[in-house]
Structure formats: structure tokens, C-alpha cells
Amino acid sequence: MCTPFSGLDNVAVGPRLEVRHKLDLGPFAPTVYAGIDGRLAGFDDSERSKAEGAVFAGYSQRFTEALQLLLEGRAGSYDARQTVFTGSYARLAATLNWDPTERWRFAVTGGWRNGDTVAGYEAYRSPMGWEPIDPGAYALAGAWRYVPTFSKPFLDYRVSAQTWSYGAEISPAVGRNTSVTLRFTRFETLGPDPYISDEVSLSLAHKY
């Protein structure tokens, strides 16, 4: 158990413009799309508040009524109030959906990301100020900032690295237009000081 860091709580709004084209007739014809989007995000930790934008393109192919493949590429950048949380990236993602019944959906996901990201290191107070406990952090040349995360002092570094991800999700329908999604994703970040992080999320979606 760890104490949540409320500084990550945020509210975001922004536009999205997308163009889609179906390449043939019929339910199994592939679809391609492209577009741009933008977002303004305000965080409880105001130094993380940012404006971001991206261009994206994707491909969707349904092989059967139950099996669907989704591919998407995206490139974007974000400008935060603090340099540590500012950067740019390129990303590729793939999702394979399986709908065995009208109620249930299962999916596996995979992805690759290259660009700026934030790495956190537990810190201690020295005569020189806050310093990372892990000496590997000194190999990272990016900007850093002290953050009181998880009830312990941390130093957040901005680094440029590649990240591979993979995961799975289950999404049962709980109403005519409502579904719940439980998702697990593992992220493996490569670089001078590689690390692995796991993310578990539970979401509720309702279509109007």
C-alpha cells in the first residue's frame, strides 16, 4: 500500500478533428483515419499543468464479427509550466479485440513509444540539497524537480527513452450503452537506467 499523490489529479479539455474513410463496402472492409487533437490539462500540482497537441493516423480491420485489429501511430508534444514535464514523443500502438458474445469483450494490446518521459528516484536531503538515493540517476542529463510523491521525497527527471508496453483487458457490458473495462498494462522503459512499471485501471463508459 502507498499513499496516493493527489498532485496527479487533473481535469482536461480539448478539441479533436478526425477524417475517416472506408476502403470498400461490407462489414469487413478496412477503415483508415487521420486527424489532429489538442488538450489543456490542469493538475492539482500546478507545475504539471500543460498544453499538448498531436497528429495521428490509424487503421481498423474486422476479420470476423468477433475479431478486430486496430493500429495507430501518433506524434505529439506538450508544454508544461515546469521543464521536467515538457517534451515530445512518437508512439505506435496495436489492439486486438475479441467479442465472443454481445456482452463480453477481451483485448490484448502492445505498443512502442520513443521520446521524453519522466523517471522518479527516491531522494534524501544532503548538505547540497535533495539528491537521488540511486546513483544511476546521475547518468541522466535531463532537467529534474523535487516532488513529495507517495509520502516520500522524490526527484523527477526528464529523460529521452524508448518504452515497450503490452497488456490485456476485459470489458463486460453492464447496460445497453454502458460497459466497464478492467485493464492491465506493463511498461518496460529502456535507457541508461531502465525500469519496469505496471498500471491497473478500472473505467466506466457510457455512449449516448
**Is 124 domain-assigned?**
yes
- State residue 1's pLDDT score: 39
| pLDDT tens-digit readout, 42-85 | 988 888 899 999 999 999 999 999 999 999 999 999 999 888 88
**Is 202 domain-assigned?**
yes
Tell me if the pTM is above 0.85.
Answer: no
Interstrand relation of 154-172 and 144-147 (parallel, antiparallel or unpaired): antiparallel
**Is 103 domain-assigned?**
yes
Burial class from Cβ neighbours inside 10 Å (0-12, 13-18, 19+) for residue 196 reads: exposed
**Is 28 domain-assigned?**
no
**Is 135 domain-assigned?**
yes
**Is 100 domain-assigned?**
yes
Q: Which residue has the higher pLDDT, 123 or 115?
A: 115
Q: Could you tell me the residue range of the domain that residue 164 belongs to?
A: 60-206
Residue with cell 527513452: 161
How many Cα neighbours within 13 Å face the side chain of 97? 19
Q: What's at 18, amino acid-wise?
A: E
In this structure, are residues 163 and 187 in contact, taking their beta carbons and an 8 Å threshold?
Answer: yes
- State residue 73's pLDDT score: 98
2 band by pLDDT with thresholds 50, 70 and 90: very low
In this structure, are residues 51 and 42 in contact, taking their beta carbons and an 8 Å threshold?
Answer: no
**Is 189 domain-assigned?**
yes
Tally of domains in the chain: 1
**Is 142 domain-assigned?**
yes
Cα separation of 190 and 126, whole Å?
Answer: 29
